[in-house]
Amino acid sequence: FGSFIIGFFTGHSSEWPAIPFLKHDHPLQGEQGLHLGIRTALCGSLTTFSSWNSQMVLMMDGTANPYLGTQVVSALFGYMTGLQVSIVSFRAGRTLSAWFQNRNNPHLFDSNLTRTASELRACNNHCYWLSPVALVLSIFVLIALYIWGDVYWGISYYRELWIACLMSPFGTIARWKLSTLNGKWSKYPWFPLGTWLANFTGSILSAALTAMAYLNIVNGEGGTTVLAAISLGFAGSLSTVSTYVKETVELSDKNPFHDRKAFVYSHFTMLSCCFVGLLVYSPLVRYAA
């Protein structure tokens, strides 16, 4: 779903208005912080590469489920299916975005049409604060409901969620900072180094925390819940499927008849994260017990 959303808000061109279902001169089209928050914070945190990778690592290792044992083939299908579904979702989001843009901003598709307004209106002083205030209030209300559910009912799942919510901003900010490394690798400037590092690091953390939870290193249900919350919140927000898929599709679009770069980036990311996940998880659960 996160891949669909980022495809919807990315569209086919950076020249298109950022919010497809609004007119080009709508005040929210000028809210750069809102656009960045949707694409980087929301979509990146909604799609977690580390949890997906950890699940495949668990299947390959087989220790956590002795009844099924090692499931290498199933895990490989899981990687391929997950990648293809995410790519299809991203492309579907872009297609829907084009439909909305054609409906609300037809001048983008017909050169004979002109804009109804000559300049993009900046958000006026009466409404510019509504978006960030509404977002912050929604986050506080959501966290408060999780805390209330934890305290009132004593359900560990709610404790995991509110701790994960508190950890998520740190993972998101770290991923945003790492994204500045994209295009900085002098030898391979096309390679999204920052996104790869975010997914690689998130996979290491997720595998380690999953192994610690399996071994019950932190005694008690509360300790296991905290480990799961850190894995879900920090490692999950540090890694991203939506941006990874977006970059894969964009690399493919730039080389439609020979998308070697897209293939190398997408499969190198999966293989390297799978390998390091196994390297961290398997020795811990097999020999540290």
What is the structure's pLDDT at 137?
Answer: 83
At residue 23 the predicted structure's pLDDT band, cuts being 50, 70 and 90, is confident
d(CA 253, CA 250): 5
Crossing angle of the two packed helices 260-287 and 242-254, in degrees rounded to 10: 150
d(CA 168, CA 271): 25
d(CA 58, CA 70): 9
Determine if residue 183 is left, alpha or beta; phi over 0 gives left, psi from -120 to 50 gives alpha, anything else beta. left
Contact present, 197 and 176 (Cβ < 8 Å): no
What is the pTM (predicted TM-score) of this model? Answer: 0.81
Statement: residue 116 has pLDDT above 70: no
What is the structure's pLDDT at 161?
Answer: 87
Statement: residue 4 has pLDDT above 70: yes
Tokens of 148: 């209330």
d(CA 59, CA 61): 6
What is the structure's pLDDT at 217?
Answer: 73
Q: CB neighbours (10 Å) of residue 163?
A: 23
Statement: residue 112 has pLDDT above 70: no
Least confident of 20-24, 88-92, 206-210: 20-24
Q: What angle do CA 143, 238, 194 make, to 5 degrees?
A: 150
Residue found by looking up tokens 């980087």 in the block: 40
Contact present, 211 and 285 (Cβ < 8 Å): yes
- Mean pLDDT over the full length of the chain: 82
Statement: residue 156 has pLDDT above 80: yes
